[in-house]
């Protein structure tokens, strides 16, 4: 495989993830970079902008074969953002997109790590493509790394990268951050390539997780599969094996709080939020925003809304639910089927429950830019964040950060990693439809003083844990992430 030229030694930081924050311009330089949506992007980009460095990942291009990939890597696409972050793009082949990304990543690892074992698909040819893409990313990164570089690998798409970097001779510091849950050992052990993925993670100097529960699952799983000595050291746990020590840490991710607060104070955004409120008249406004995914509990949330109207008929015609569903993985039949199910549920509920001049669900199937999202956060009486399973969930934090007015209520799934970081939220079991409905009713009935008290608690926690402070925690010591701010 062709390689790219070395950058200057000592580059402060190299981030590598499956996807870059932007689809880069074409090789000819034409076109405008288009920003991608996602929690990883929203958190890592401001952190890297503050520190400086290079970000390597898939640039959105899909090429027909490996020969085209090699030719592309001979002169890779680069772009520097207005914030000064340099991006280096690597392509995928059509087969890799289908087998590595839509296949092994999203049909095996995604459901496995979210405990949806019944949805898992294990195919050897898909794992082979996963290994190949991980090797390509490692080679691109290594060609840019100097001896003093620190490499920060992100998420389940690239769990083999640390081990491949070691195999290729890199001896500098490697950190790995997992943005989704790590499953219990009995679930992880069903993976035929469990040893390869575990060795990939253990090749990093530090492996970090959002939540203590995820780290505990990882440590216990590693102990059960690999000869290791476990050495607690303060807030870190050392896993000492034959090839060295990897430190397992907890560092819950933050957001760019200042940017959300700035937007929430922007007169144009405030005016937009007032127009949203005006469009709904005197009705109470419930709001949710999710990527289209079975882990998000979208349909169960609809059922809870129906139950709310059964329990509280006084809210019929007096409460609107605005739900934004961001398109995702539309090339995968399961996600197309989920989209059809969501569409049908919206139509059924609106058809059965709606009245003249009123529909209970206002459904948007599209991504909202950040300004529009903040306007909706400001307009909402209650935000509903009720995933069935989520590594962290930054929507909850974004809602809180946007509420510079100190008002608003949050109904939050106990199975979101952020649940124990937001003490003012109303925690619910998303599988308990009656319980979610009761929590929504309580949120709507809550006194202003209670709402403001709860929001003040949450805002203190969100402001204490930003994207930049999270990155500083993760990179503050060789190979380890410090415990995030409480």
Provide DSSP, 398-445.
HHHHH-TTS--EEEEETTBGGGGG-TTSEEE-TT-HHHHHHHHHHHHH
Q: Count Cβ neighbours within 10 Å for each residue of 181-194 and write b for 16 or more, e otherwise.
A: bbbebebbeebebe
Contacts of residue 260, defined as CB under 8 A and 6 or more positions apart, other chains included, come to: 370, 374, 398, 401, 402
Question: What's the pLDDT score for residue 46?
Answer: 76
Question: What's the pLDDT score for residue 477?
Answer: 56
Question: What's the pLDDT score for residue 2?
Answer: 30
Flag the least confident range among 39-53, 59-73, 102-116, 418-432.
39-53
* Dihedral sign of CA atoms 315, 424, 155, 229 in order: negative
Question: What's the pLDDT score for residue 26?
Answer: 57
Q: Tell me how far apart the alpha carbons of residues 478 and 204 are, in angstroms, rounded to a whole number.
A: 11
**Interstrand relation of 150-154 and 382-385 (parallel, antiparallel or unpaired):** unpaired
Question: What's the pLDDT score for residue 80?
Answer: 84
Question: What's the pLDDT score for residue 76?
Answer: 76
Q: Count Cβ neighbours within 10 Å for each residue of 139-152 and write b for 16 or more, e otherwise.
A: bbbbbbbeeebbbb
Q: Catalytic one among 59, 155, 290, 390? A: 390
- What the block records as the tokens of 375 is 């306007």
Q: What is the mean pLDDT of residues 267-273?
A: 98
Question: pLDDT tier at 30 (50, 70, 90 boundaries)?
Answer: low
Q: Tell me how far apart the alpha carbons of residues 388 and 403 are, in angstroms, rounded to a whole number.
A: 25
347's enclosing H/E stretch is helix 333-353
- Is the pLDDT at 262 greater than 90? The verdict is yes
Question: What's the pLDDT score for residue 147?
Answer: 84
Question: What's the pLDDT score for residue 462?
Answer: 96
Q: Count Cβ neighbours within 10 Å for each residue of 437-459 and write b for 16 or more, e otherwise.
A: bbbbbebbebeeeebbebbeebb
Beta strands in 167-283 (DSSP E): 173-177, 206-209, 229-233, 236-241, 244-250
Question: pLDDT tier at 3 (50, 70, 90 boundaries)?
Answer: very low
Q: Tell me how far apart the alpha carbons of residues 455 and 435 are, in angstroms, rounded to a whole number.
A: 21
Residue 197 per-residue DSSP state: H
- Is the pLDDT at 29 greater than 80? The verdict is no
Question: pLDDT tier at 32 (50, 70, 90 boundaries)?
Answer: low
| Better-predicted residue by pLDDT, 419 or 71 | 419
Question: What's the pLDDT score for residue 82?
Answer: 77
Question: What's the pLDDT score for residue 486?
Answer: 34
Question: pLDDT tier at 38 (50, 70, 90 boundaries)?
Answer: low
Domains of the chain, CATH where assigned: 14-253+468-474 (3.40.50.2000), 257-464 (3.40.50.2000)
Active site annotation includes 115:
no
| Better-predicted residue by pLDDT, 253 or 475 | 253
| Better-predicted residue by pLDDT, 475 or 67 | 67
Question: What's the pLDDT score for residue 6?
Answer: 32
Q: Tell me how far apart the alpha carbons of residues 115 and 109 are, in angstroms, rounded to a whole number.
A: 10
**Interstrand relation of 319-326 and 22-23 (parallel, antiparallel or unpaired):** unpaired
CB 242, CB 227: distance < 8 Å: yes
Question: pLDDT tier at 37 (50, 70, 90 boundaries)?
Answer: low
Question: What's the pLDDT score for residue 45?
Answer: 80
CA angle 136/328/280 to nearest 5° reads 150
- Taking alpha carbons only, the member of 421, 430, 374 closest to residue 393 is 421
**Interstrand relation of 54-63 and 34-35 (parallel, antiparallel or unpaired):** unpaired
Question: What's the pLDDT score for residue 469?
Answer: 86
Contacts of residue 155, defined as CB under 8 A and 6 or more positions apart, other chains included, come to: 17, 18, 40, 177, 178, 179, 180
Question: What's the pLDDT score for residue 482?
Answer: 39
Question: pLDDT tier at 27 (50, 70, 90 boundaries)?
Answer: low
- The rounded mean pLDDT for the chain is 90
What is each CA distance from 311 to 80, 300, 308, 433, in whole angstroms? 54, 16, 5, 11
Question: pLDDT tier at 9 (50, 70, 90 boundaries)?
Answer: very low
- Is the pLDDT at 237 greater than 90? The verdict is yes
CB 50, CB 468: distance < 8 Å: yes
Q: Catalytic one among 114, 157, 179, 376? A: 179
Question: pLDDT tier at 483 (50, 70, 90 boundaries)?
Answer: very low
- What the block records as the tokens of 418 is 């952020």
Contacts of residue 313, defined as CB under 8 A and 6 or more positions apart, other chains included, come to: none
Q: What is the mean pLDDT of residues 344-371?
A: 96
- Is the pLDDT at 197 greater than 50? The verdict is yes
Question: What's the pLDDT score for residue 47?
Answer: 75
Contacts of residue 344, defined as CB under 8 A and 6 or more positions apart, other chains included, come to: none
Active site annotation includes 114:
no
CA angle 163/168/172 to nearest 5° reads 75
25-29, 85-89, 154-158, 464-468: which is most confident: 154-158
Q: What is the mean pLDDT of residues 285-305?
A: 97
Q: What is the mean pLDDT of residues 204-215?
A: 95
Contacts of residue 403, defined as CB under 8 A and 6 or more positions apart, other chains included, come to: 264, 377, 378, 455, 459
Q: What is the mean pLDDT of residues 432-438?
A: 98
- Is the pLDDT at 22 greater than 90? The verdict is no
Strands of the sheet with 284-291, listed across from one edge: 361-365, 319-326, 284-291, 382-385, 409-413, 426-428
Q: How much of the chain exceeds pLDDT 70, in percent?
A: 92
């Amino acid at each position: 495989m062709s390689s790219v030229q070395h950058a200057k030694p000592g580059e402060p930081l190299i981030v590598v993830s499956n996807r870059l924050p932007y689809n880069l311009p074409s090789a000819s330089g034409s076109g405008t970079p288009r920003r991608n949506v996602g929690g990883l992007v929203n958190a890592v980009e401001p952190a890297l902008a503050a520190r400086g460095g290079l970000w390597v990942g898939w640039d959105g291009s899909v090429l027909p074969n490996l020969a085209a990939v090699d030719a592309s890597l001979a002169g890779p696409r680069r772009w520097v953002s207005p914030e000064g972050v340099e991006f280096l793009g690597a392509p995928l082949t059509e087969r890799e997109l289908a087998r590595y990304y839509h296949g092994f990543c999203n049909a095996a690892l995604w459901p496995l790590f979210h405990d949806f074992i019944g949805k898992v698909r294990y195919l050897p040819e898909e794992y082979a493509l996963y290994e190949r893409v991980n090797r390509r990313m490692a080679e691109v990164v290594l060609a840019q790394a100097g001896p003093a570089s620190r490499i920060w690998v992100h998420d389940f798409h690239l769990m083999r990268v640390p081990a491949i970097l070691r195999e290729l001779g890199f001896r500098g510091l490697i950190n790995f951050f997992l943005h989704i849950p790590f499953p219990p050992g009995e679930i992880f052990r069903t993976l035929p390539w469990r040893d390869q993925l575990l060795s990939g993670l253990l090749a990093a100097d530090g492996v970090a997780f959002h939540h203590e529960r995820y780290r505990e699952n990882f440590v216990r799983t590693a102990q059960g599969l690999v000869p290791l000595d476990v050495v607690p050291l303060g807030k870190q746990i050392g896993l000492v094996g034959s090839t060295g020590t990897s430190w397992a840490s907890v560092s819950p991710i933050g957001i760019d709080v200042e940017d959300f607060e700035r937007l929430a104070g922007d007169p144009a955004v405030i005016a937009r939020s007032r127009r949203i409120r005006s469009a709904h008249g005197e009705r109470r406004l419930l709001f949710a925003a999710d990527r289209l995914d079975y882990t998000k509990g979208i349909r169960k949330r609809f059922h809870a809304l129906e139950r709310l109207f059964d329990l509280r008929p006084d809210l019929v015609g007096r409460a609107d639910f605005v739900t934004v569903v961001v398109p995702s993985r539309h090339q995968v039949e399961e996600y197309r089927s989920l989209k059809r199910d969501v569409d049908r549920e919206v139509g059924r509920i609106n058809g059965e429950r709606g009245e003249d001049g009123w529909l209970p669900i206002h459904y948007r199937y599209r991504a909202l830019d950040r300004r529009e999202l903040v306007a909706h956060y400001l307009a909402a009486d209650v935000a509903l964040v009720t995933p069935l399973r989520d590594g962290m969930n930054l929507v909850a934090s974004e809602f809180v950060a946007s509420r510079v007015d100190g008002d608003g209520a949050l109904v939050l799934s106990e199975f979101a990693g952020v649940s124990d970081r937001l003490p003012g939220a109303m925690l619910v079991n998303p599988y308990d439809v009656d319980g979610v409905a009761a929590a929504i009713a309580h949120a709507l009935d809550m006194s202003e003083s209670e709402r403001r008290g709860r929001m003040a608690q949450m805002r203190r926690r969100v402001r204490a844990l930003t994207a930049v402070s999270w990155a500083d925690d993760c990179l503050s010591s060789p190979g380890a992430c410090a415990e995030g701010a409480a």
